């Protein structure tokens, strides 16, 4: 197996396309309930990573044929003891030891960067879960994904819930924006992003995240590079004008009928 570093900014389109084709094939098995990854989203994710954090992209070929690769995110703001690993093996080439070779290579890169923990994700019942168990990974955090079909929402029930929430939140109001955070709200948004670190992390070794305006803008640039559009609703204390909560939905440009919150 030949493993080489891929620079998505200068590598040939054919090289990046080979990765994309393998990702499409894998998604049919590993993410059957999601829309297929879009080309622009794929290219943006390789070039800009998760929130603009540094990352490395490596590809693997056997006899000149692309069989897989991995993306290694290297946090620099906080949790610098970790690396975020996304490992891919084409479905036609699984169960041949390629995944273990790629993992070994990725762990060597982590050690070179003085990282002690690697974090990856896999859905229950997929090849990724089986592989993680086989190589001795420890289940540290279980997440549940919920999907809401907006065409099936009970509008009357939704209106009742909204009215109940408004009665319980007198003194507060909602504001909305799309795209980047307006400058006048940046200080409050930075504070809220830091507070999100209080979400349960179970057995995952995860430090409180450090946020500032530059980091927020870096995330926004990474999102835009993936052709996603953020829509944000924030709760504001009327008397002080302070934002006390927010939620953002990201609409995918390649699949505008699908969004993530």
User: What DSSP line would sit under 190-201, residue for residue?
Assistant: HHHHHHGGGS--
Beta carbons within 10 angstroms of residue 34's beta carbon: 15
* 3 state DSSP class of 89: strand
- Map out the domains of the chain with their CATH numbers: 2-134 (3.40.630.30), 151-260 (no CATH)
**pTM for the predicted model, two decimal places:** 0.89
% of residues, the chain, pLDDT over 90: 77
Q: Which residue has the higher pLDDT, 98 or 12?
A: 98
pLDDT at 34: 87
Distance CA 33, CA 215 (A): 31
Cβ atoms of residues 36 and 23 within 8 Å: no
253: pLDDT strictly greater than 80: yes
For the stretch 129-187, pLDDT in tens is: 999 999 999 998 898 888 999 999 999 999 999 999 999 999 999 999 999 999 999 99
Q: What is the mean pLDDT of the segment spanning 39-51?
A: 88
How far out from the chain centre does Cα 109 lie? 21
């Amino acid at each position: 197996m030949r493993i080489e570093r891929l620079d998505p900014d200068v590598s040939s389109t054919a090289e990046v396309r080979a990765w994309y084709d393998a990702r499409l094939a894998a998604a049919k098995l590993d993410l059957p309930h999601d829309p297929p990854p879009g080309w622009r989203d794929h290219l943006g994710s390789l070039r800009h990573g998760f929130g603009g954090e540094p990352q490395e992209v490596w590809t693997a070929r056997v006899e000149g044929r692309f069989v897989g690769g991995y993306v290694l995110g290297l946090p620099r703001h906080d949790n610098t003891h970790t690396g975020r690993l996304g490992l891919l093996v084409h479905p036609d080439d699984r169960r041949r030891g390629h995944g273990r070779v790629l993992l070994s290579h990725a762990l060597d890169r982590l050690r070179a960067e003085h990282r002690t923990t690697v974090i990856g994700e896999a859905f229950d019942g997929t090849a990724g879960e089986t592989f993680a168990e086989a190589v001795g990974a420890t289940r540290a955090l279980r997440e549940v994904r919920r999907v809401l079909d907006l065409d099936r929402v009970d509008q009357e029930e939704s209106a009742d819930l909204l009215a109940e929430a408004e009665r319980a939140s007198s003194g507060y109001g909602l504001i909305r924006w799309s795209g980047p955070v307006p400058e006048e709200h940046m200080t409050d948004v930075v504070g809220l992003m830091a507070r999100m670190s209080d979400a349960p992390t179970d057995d995952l070794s995860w430090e409180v995240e450090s946020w500032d305006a530059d980091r927020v803008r870096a995330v926004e640039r990474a999102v835009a590079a993936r052709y996603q559009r953020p829509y944000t609703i924030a709760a504001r204390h009327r008397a002080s004008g302070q934002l006390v909560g927010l939620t953002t939905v990201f609409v995918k440009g390649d699949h505008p009928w699908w969004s993530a919150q």
